[in-house]
Chain A
Amino acid sequence: DVKVTQSSRYLVKRTGEKVFLECVQDMDHENMFWYRQDPGLGLRLIYFSYDVKMKEKGDIPEGYSVSREKKERFSLILESASTNQTSMYLCASKTTGFHEQYFGPGTRLTVT
């Protein structure tokens, strides 16, 4: 079974803090994704990566950066957290081709 894990289920940070969210997958998938999920807005893509050290902006990259130093690990970084970044963050991975994405359990981040 594909397993995608995220470093925290719940996180509370203060405005201005630097926040790291980590995602690890164990199926040697090439592609990894970070989404945020907000009520009424569905899932919105922040960044994705199709290879080590490669990254592409998604639909809402502002205020975020990412790092992919190893194939299995994809990190989302909030350089200076703001209250409008309070959300559920979901990581996903997939292999290249016509396959579904597999999602991690999510991190609910609250910025106060």
Chain B
Amino acid sequence: ELKVEQNPLFLSMQEGKNYTIYCNYSTTSDRLYWYRQDPGKSLESLFVLLSNGAVKQEGRLMASLDTKARLSTLHITAAVHDLSATYFCAVDEGKSSGDKLTFGTGTRLAVRP
């Protein structure tokens, strides 16, 4: 059974600081997705990582994938309040499993002034 672990589960950080969220998973996969969820809202796709060494950046967020280590990171640079949300990583088990995703439990990020 695929397990996806995120840490930390909760992150309170000051505006302007940098931090990294980690996503570890337990099986071979080279497809990983990051989503953002604002309170009371649905999930919004942030990044799609499809190969070992993939790196994607959007604004102050950068995501990377190391399939050998079974690890993805979401790096936040110079955090601003607008980044406050819950971030989920999700691992694609592949076509043999019907393209379904297994999600981590999420990292709730609070950016304070």
Contacts and interface: CB of A to CB of B under 8 A. Distances in A.
Contact of A94 (B35, B41, B43, B99): B99
Nearest to A43: B103
A1 to B, nearest CB: 12
Contacts of B12: none
A44 B4 CA distance: 12
B31 A98 contact: yes
Interface residues of B, number: 23
A88 B101 CA distance: 18
B48 A98 contact: yes
A33 interface: yes
B56 to A, nearest CB: 12
Given A42-B106, A100-B33, A50 B99 contact: yes
Interface residues of A, number: 27
B43 A103 contact: yes
Interface string B33-50: 101000001111100101
Nearest to B50: A98
Nearest to B48: A100
A56 B97 CA distance: 10
B99 A31 contact: yes
Given A90-B42, A98-B50, A106-B42, A41 B98 contact: no
Contacts of A58: 100
Interface of A: 31, 33, 35, 40-45, 48, 50, 56, 58, 90, 92, 94, 96-106
